[in-house]
Structure formats: C-alpha cells, structure tokens
Amino acid sequence: MTLVEFLHPLKGSSNRDLCLAAMYFHQRYDGVEELAIEALRALLKKARVPKATTMNIADVLSKSAPMVDAAGKQGRSILWRLTNSGQERVRQLLDLPEHDIEVENDVASLQALVDKVADEDTVDYLREALKCLQVNALRATVVFTWSAAVKKIRDDVFICGASFVDAAVKKHDPKAKAITKADDLVLVKESTLLLAAQELGVFDKNQRGVLEECLNLRNKCGHPGKYKLGPKKVSSFLEDLIGIVFQ
C-alpha cells in the first residue's frame, strides 16, 4: 500500500484531515514519530495532494490541537507529532480498526480495490468483505473476497470464447454441463474452474496452485467448524488474490 492509496478515500477532505492522515501513515508504516513541516509537505506532494506546495501547513498544525503536538525542534524547525487523539481521528475518517496494523493495511488495500474494479457484482462482494474486515469478522472477509475473485475469474475465463472454455472444463470434468454463455460457469466446480483457467492460459501452474490454497482457506471459513484464523493469514490471502486475480 502506498501513501497515494491511503489518502485516496480522503479526496476533497480538509487540509487538517489530509495532514493528520499523512502523519498517521508516516508514523504507522514508516516508523517516523516526529516530522517537520517541510517533511510533511513532501509527503503531501508525494501523494499528489492538490495545493500541497502552497498549503500553509504551519497554520493548519497550530490550529489542530489536541490532535497534534509540538515535540521539539530540529535546527530552527518545529517537529510535530500525532497524538492519540489525532490517531483516533484518522481511524474514524478511514474506518480503520484500532487493534491491528495488518488489518488497517488490508482495509486500505480492499478500499483501493473497490475504487479500481468496474464490475458492479464484483464490487458488491468486495464492499461486503470490507465491512466484515472493519469489524474483525475475518472468516466472512475471506468468504466474500473469494466470491469477488471467483466472479472475476469466470469473467476472465469466458473472454477466451465459449467453445474453448467448454473444452477446457470438460477436460477436467467430462460430466459438466455444456458452456454456451457466461452464466453456465456458475455451475462449474470452483476447483475445476481453476484447472480450466490454467488450461486457457489465464493463470500459470504456480498461480493456480496458490489460488487452490485460497479456495481451501475459503472452504475452511465457509463451513461449520472450529477453525479460526488470524489477521496475518487473512492478509496473505488478500495479497495473493489481489496480486493474481485483480492485477
């Protein structure tokens, strides 16, 4: 995740909120607790924030108490630090959970994906996944994100042509219903769909293997059982799907 992606949901927000969010990102993901005004300006420029060059950041920060505090000096420059109140403000703005940095990162990644995907059905699944992740419903996050990925895979597969898709599916499932339209792929087993996708060149063998692992995780999360997963597992799952299916 980049600073551009992190700040994108705040497009049109106040200068104060943009500054706070940039400081939050720099603190959480770059490990920098304190920064001078010109360093903050450089961050805003990097994120392509309009008017970052002319923004009166000193005035913005001086009027942002108690969300920021002066932490000392570096030469003649005041060093500013985001306070707990400032962190809470950014979490509210971006719907970030407080308890886990990995989850914060994944929320931002999913939001960026929602903004990128055009297909409405796929976006609906991703929005549901995003809502689940924001309340730490990790198993539901996996299920909805996989549903979005499968919708995208079906669309990408069918672009290859109905006759080619039908042949690829029947190679791995001779009893499968004939494929004449995109909706027919809904009846194809997802494991078979992945094999057919590799057959058609949508994925290579390694990518298909990773996606099969994602499917296995989805099945563990979607069926009753005692299996529980943590945020790092979800983060890896999301990274694989975004990198392979939604690239």
Query: pLDDT tier at 19 (50, 70, 90 boundaries)?
Result: very high
- Per-residue confidence (pLDDT) for residue 102, from 0 to 100: 67
- Per-residue confidence (pLDDT) for residue 242, from 0 to 100: 94
Do 109 and 136 meet the contact criterion of CB atoms below 8 Å apart?
no
Position 142 pLDDT exceeds 80: yes
Rounded-to-integer distance, Cα 10 and Cα 244, Å: 27
| Residue at which a domain ends, from 93, 127, 150 | 93
Please write down the HEC assignment for all residues of 174-191: CCCCCCCCHHHHHHCCHH
**Same domain for 121 and 211?**
yes
**Same domain for 103 and 84?**
no
- Per-residue confidence (pLDDT) for residue 148, from 0 to 100: 97
pLDDT tens column, 165-196: 999 999 999 999 999 999 999 999 999 999 99
Indicate whether this model's pTM tops 0.85: no
**Same domain for 41 and 58?**
yes
Rounded-to-integer distance, Cα 159 and Cα 45, Å: 40
Q: Please state the rounded mean pLDDT for residues 221-242.
A: 88
| Residue at which a domain ends, from 78, 93, 108 | 93
DSSP label of 202: S
**Same domain for 236 and 148?**
yes
Do 20 and 96 meet the contact criterion of CB atoms below 8 Å apart?
no
Q: Which residues of 10-47 are buried (b: 16+ CB within 10 A; e: fewer)?
A: beeeebbbbbbbbbbbbbbbeeeebbbbebbbebbeeb
**Same domain for 87 and 104?**
no
Rounded-to-integer distance, Cα 101 and Cα 30, Å: 12
C-alpha angle 135/89/138, rounded to 5°?
15
Query: pLDDT tier at 109 (50, 70, 90 boundaries)?
Result: confident
Sheet containing strand 68-74, strands side by side: 34-35, 77-82, 68-74
Phi, psi of 35 (to 5 degrees): -150, 150
**Same domain for 135 and 193?**
yes
- Per-residue confidence (pLDDT) for residue 99, from 0 to 100: 58
What is the domain extent for residue 185?
97-244
Position 143 pLDDT exceeds 70: yes
Strand bridging mode 68-74 / 34-35: unpaired
The token duo for 234 is: 């979800």
Upstream peptide bond of 9 is cis (omega within 30 degrees of 0) = no
| Residue at which a domain ends, from 35, 58, 93 | 93
**Same domain for 25 and 110?**
no
**Same domain for 24 and 119?**
no
Q: Please state the rounded mean pLDDT for residues 149-157.
A: 97
Count how many domains the chain has.
2
**Same domain for 116 and 235?**
yes
**Same domain for 44 and 88?**
yes
Q: Please state the rounded mean pLDDT for residues 127-140.
A: 87
The chain-wide mean pLDDT, for the chain, equals 92
Q: Please state the rounded mean pLDDT for residues 10-18.
A: 94
**Same domain for 239 and 227?**
yes
**Same domain for 227 and 157?**
yes
